[in-house]
């Protein structure tokens, strides 16, 4: 079973929409900047790759915006951009559209989670609205409400493996005929607590200011449908899976280019993966979207653009200097395997084919 990628929507530090992402990757424009962050220890300046959700003001009613959080807005914007990108009128898709969302930090990234660093303890004074917005499936539910989709709807939060798991579920749903198409999204907010750690504890060698990677945020959505045999410029997703390193290591594939997404530091799994793949052609674009648990979704979006333009772009990565492919080269019909080494000894992958 292969799923055709019919549409793509992305918002992040690089801008808003496929055009902005394409421009950033073609011109190797890093997106990291310094972000002010208020904490009980005062204002900190931390490296970040933050997104703007202001384009949403032109897409949905103001009352809907007022009642939504940044997490929801990132998700809604990404989903609307992906639907627009399909070229269907008003982004309307025919048939049953499933909604699957993967997130690593979830809806509480900067609210309840941040209470330990916040000037006030919010846990004993939670408003009904903030509580209902703290549930991780709030973004996928809001998208369903906006699109009026009474269809299967799932949210997965398994930190850095959420993206391959979301695509794995999407392929399964399409294969079983539960849905006619799927909107798969990957969303994370800028994590203040992560930025705080990277800033405060840089002395241990893992700090973002030392390695240059900003804490990222953004949203990337894909519209998938079963393959119908026609030419699809973004390509087709052949497989998505997660594996325990102890059970299965990847074998180098001659017809593949590897797009990496990873963390601030090379985990043991990453080191093992790199050793396993040897000198296979690899690229990383972390400098465009920053470090975030759902970064693999952005790597896959860049893979879809590479597929469309038949080019592999130079790496935009700032962890300890540049790494991977340094110049443009033709893709030449090769497949792109997007890889994410996981924290817990897993690795996740999504494979994109012509």
Partner 1 sequence: MKRFSPVAISGVGCLTALGHDLDQCMEAMFRGERNCGPPTRLSNPVSLDYPVFEVSPDFSSAQDREGSSGVRSVQLALTAVEEALRDARLSGPELQNRRVGICLGATVTGSLKHEGIPEAQGANKPEYLTPEQRFLLTSPVLGIANQYRASGPLQTIVTACSAGSDAIGLAAQWIQSGMCDLVLTGGVEELYEITYNGFVSLMNCDTRPCRPFDASRNGLNLGEGAGLLVLESEQALGQRGGRAKAFVWGYGNSSDAYHLTSPSPEGQGLRGAILEALEVSGVGPERIGFINAHGTGTLDNDALEASMFREIFPETPFFSTKGYTGHTLAAAGGIEAAFTVSCLERHHLPPSGGFSTPDPELPASPIQSSLKVRADFALSQTLAFGGINSVLVLGGEKEA
What is the contact surface with partner 1 in residues (CB under 8 A)? 99, 104-106, 108-109, 112-113, 116-117, 121, 123-128, 131-138, 140-142, 144-145, 147-159, 161, 165, 168-169, 172, 175-178, 191, 193-194, 196-197, 241-242, 244, 246-248, 263, 293, 343-344, 346
Give 158 or 337: the residue with its C-beta nearer to partner 1.
158
111 secondary structure, DSSP code: T
User: Closest separation between CB of residue 164 and partner 1, Å?
Assistant: 9
The span from the CA of 344 to the CA of 151, in Å, is 32
Give 148 or 275: the residue with its C-beta nearer to partner 1.
148
Q: With contact defined as beta carbons under 8 Å apart, do 348 and 342 qualify?
A: yes
Residue 247: in which H helix or E strand, if any? none
Handedness of CA 49, 50, 52, 53 (dihedral sign): positive
Give 291 or 313: the residue with its C-beta nearer to partner 1.
291
User: Closest separation between CB of residue 324 and partner 1, Å?
Assistant: 23
Q: Which two tokens stand for residue 240?
A: 């998505």
Other Cβ atoms less than 10 A from the Cβ of 247: the count is 8
Residues 6 or more apart from 76 whose CB is under 8 A from it? 56, 60, 68, 139, 142, 143, 146
Q: With contact defined as beta carbons under 8 Å apart, do 99 and 151 qualify?
A: yes
Give 93 or 193: the residue with its C-beta nearer to partner 1.
193
Give 122 or 332: the residue with its C-beta nearer to partner 1.
122
Residue linked to tokens 């019919």: 6
User: Closest separation between CB of residue 26 and partner 1, Å?
Assistant: 32
User: Closest separation between CB of residue 131 and partner 1, Å?
Assistant: 3
Give 29 or 146: the residue with its C-beta nearer to partner 1.
146
Please give the distance of CA 123 from its chain centroid, rounded to a whole number.
Answer: 29
User: Closest separation between CB of residue 328 and partner 1, Å?
Assistant: 34
Q: With contact defined as beta carbons under 8 Å apart, do 13 and 32 qualify?
A: yes
Give 11 or 99: the residue with its C-beta nearer to partner 1.
99
* Residue ranges of E strands in the chain: 3-12, 15-16, 33-39, 42-49, 97-102, 153-156, 181-188, 215-216, 218-226, 236-244, 256-260, 282-284, 311-312, 329-330, 335-341, 346-353
Where does residue 227 rank: exposed (0-12), middle (13-18), buried (19+ CB within 10 A)?
middle
User: Closest separation between CB of residue 259 and partner 1, Å?
Assistant: 21
243 forms beta bridges with 347
Give 120 or 279: the residue with its C-beta nearer to partner 1.
120
295 forms beta bridges with none
User: Closest separation between CB of residue 108 and partner 1, Å?
Assistant: 5
């Amino acid at each position: 079973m292969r799923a055709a990628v019919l549409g793509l929507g992305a918002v992040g530090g690089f801008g808003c929409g496929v055009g902005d992402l394409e421009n950033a990757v073609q011109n190797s424009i890093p997106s990291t900047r310094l972000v002010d962050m208020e904490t009980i220890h005062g204002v900190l300046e931390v490296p970040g790759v933050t997104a703007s959700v202001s384009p949403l003001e032109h897409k949905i009613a103001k009352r809907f915006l007022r009642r939504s959080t940044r997490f929801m807005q990132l998700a809604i914007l990404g989903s609307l951009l992906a639907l627009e990108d399909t070229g269907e009128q008003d982004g309307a898709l025919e048939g049953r559209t499933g909604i699957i969302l993967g997130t690593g930090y979830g809806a509480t990234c900067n609210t309840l989670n941040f209470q330990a660093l916040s000037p006030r303890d919010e846990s004993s004074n939670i408003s009904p609205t903030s509580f209902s917005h703290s549930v991780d499936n709030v973004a996928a539910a809001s998208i369903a409400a906006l699109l009026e989709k009474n269809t299967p709807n799932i949210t997965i939060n398994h930190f850095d493996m959420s993206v391959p798991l979301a695509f794995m579920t999407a392929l399964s749903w399409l294969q079983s005929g539960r849905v006619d198409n799927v909107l798969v999204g990957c969303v994370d907010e800028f994590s203040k607590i992560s930025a705080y750690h990277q800033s405060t504890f840089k002395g241990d060698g893992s700090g973002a200011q030392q390695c240059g990677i900003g804490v990222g945020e953004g949203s990337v959505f894909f519209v998938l449908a079963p393959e119908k045999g026609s030419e699809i410029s973004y390509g087709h997703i052949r497989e998505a899976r997660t594996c325990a390193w102890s059970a299965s290591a990847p074998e180098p594939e001659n017809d593949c280019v590897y797009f990496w997404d990873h963390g601030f530091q090379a985990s043991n799994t990453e080191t093992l993966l790199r050793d396993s793949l040897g000198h296979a052609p690899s690229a990383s674009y972390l400098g465009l979207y920053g470090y975030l648990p759902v970064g693999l979704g952005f790597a896959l979006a860049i893979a879809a653009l590479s597929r469309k333009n038949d080019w592999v772009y130079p790496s935009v990565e700032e962890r300890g200097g540049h790494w991977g492919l340094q110049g443009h080269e033709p893709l030449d019909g090769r497949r792109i395997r997007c890889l994410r080494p996981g924290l817990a000894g897993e690795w996740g992958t999504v494979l994109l084919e012509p």
